[in-house]
Structure 1
Amino acid sequence: METRDACEGKFGEELNTCIARLEALESRKDRIADADKAAYNRELDALKKKNEAAWAKFKKMKASGDSEWPGRKNDVGNAILAIQKALDESYSRFHNDTGS
């Protein structure tokens, strides 16, 4: 079982990777056909909101006491998995690659 510090470090790295992937999507805006730009921008906005929500959960987890930390850890883990899946789907839909 990993320590609290190790888990928080791993989650922080994963969230930073999500930010990098979001920035990569943002930088690819000019490659999107005009007909798809509105959908692309809506999807980017939704991804940014998911990422912000995951970061908010991460901050709550880091500030939580030992008794509530395990539950918050699960919330953060699930939020990270959700944003990673959404990023994968977005890359697949708009760029036909994984973006990794």
Structure 2
Amino acid sequence: MGDASMLLGSTKVTTNINISWNQFAFDFGKVKLPKIRSLTLDVSHNKIYGHLPVVIENVLSLNVSYNMLCGEIPKGDDENNNDHDAYMYIHNKYLCGSPLSSCK
């Protein structure tokens, strides 16, 4: 467990981040992601918990599957901002909202 700022901090000038298939465990809701619309982010198959930050709606390509995330998936203002499908969110603790089942 720890702080992921060194990997995903908002001061990073990165367009492709892939930290999948590791044992990373941190609160994703506390990560300050860069506001880069061309960001490709794959953090799948880890032990990441917490909620998805709102800025995630601007990520071009995203995979947060197989973690321990919870809460509602942020909705983008523009449907063309991203191409996220259900596969990119599956196998999380309590994640809900489009494209997964609705939150109750």
- Give the TM-score range, shorter chain: under 0.3
Q: TM-score, normalised by structure 2?
A: 0.21
Q: Of the two structures, which has the highest relative contact order with CA contacts closer than 8 Å and spacing of 6 or more?
A: 1
Structure with the higher helix share, 1 or 2: 1
Structure whose alpha-carbon radius of gyration is higher: 1
Structure with the higher strand share, 1 or 2: 2
Q: TM-score, normalised by structure 1?
A: 0.21
